[in-house]
Amino acid sequence: MGLASARPLQAALKSAPVRFVTRITDLYQLIKMISLAAFLHLAIYWV
């Protein structure tokens, strides 16, 4: 039972790009994208 329950987790980890999670530069890119999305969301209401 323990092995069967671990398989979906292993599949999820293999499908997720580990490089994206571990590299700090990618984290900064994610922060920039979120900031841009928030700015564009506010810009819609300013028009």
Half-sphere exposure of 31 (CA within 13 A, CB side): 6
Tokens encoding 35: 């900031």
DSSP calls for 1-47: -HHHHHHHHHHHHHHS-HHHHH-HHHHHHHHHHHHHHHHHHHHHHH-
Q: What is the pTM of this model?
A: 0.45
Q: Express each pLDDT in 1-47 by its tens digit.
A: 445 555 665 665 565 566 555 677 778 888 999 999 999 998 887 76
6 vs 8: CA distance, rounded Å:
6
pLDDT of residue 25: 79
